[in-house]
Amino acid sequence: MKRDLIVAALPRSNGKAARKPVEPTKDALWRIERLEVQLQKLTELVRDHAEDVDRLVRIVAEDRNVIRQQLLRKHHEKVRVRKHLRDHHSKSGLDS
């Protein structure tokens, strides 16, 4: 069984599945060029990702700022209402 697998993996001499012998230097140059292309693509992807993260950070910061301002307005409104009620109660106490 092992022998059959080994024989099946060998290139056929009738030319159907046989590969041409590749020169090691050409193969190495092709691999280097391929790696350079992949590295360039990876660099572009990393740059795009960093830009996306920067955009998201800005969006979140803006949203947090809007939420903070809304909460601050609500707080100021509550303080104004309490102050108004306190002033109103103190005036009512004087009139009695």
Q: How far is CA 25 from the centre of its chain?
A: 39
Q: Is the pLDDT of residue 15 over 60?
A: no
DSSP 8-state symbol, 19: P
Query: Buried b / exposed e across 52-77, counting CB within 10 Å, b at 16+?
Result: eeeeeeeeeeeeeeeeeeeeeeeeee
Q: Which domain holds residue 88?
A: 2-95
Distance separating alpha carbons of residues 44 and 36, to the nearest angstrom: 12
pLDDT digits (tens, 9 = 90+) for 61-73: 999 999 999 999 9
Top pLDDT among 47 and 90 is at: 47
Distance separating alpha carbons of residues 72 and 50, to the nearest angstrom: 33
Overall domain count for the chain: 1
Q: Which amino acid is at 52?
A: D
Q: Is the pLDDT of residue 7 over 70?
A: no
Distance separating alpha carbons of residues 41 and 31, to the nearest angstrom: 15
Q: How far is CA 32 from the centre of its chain?
A: 29
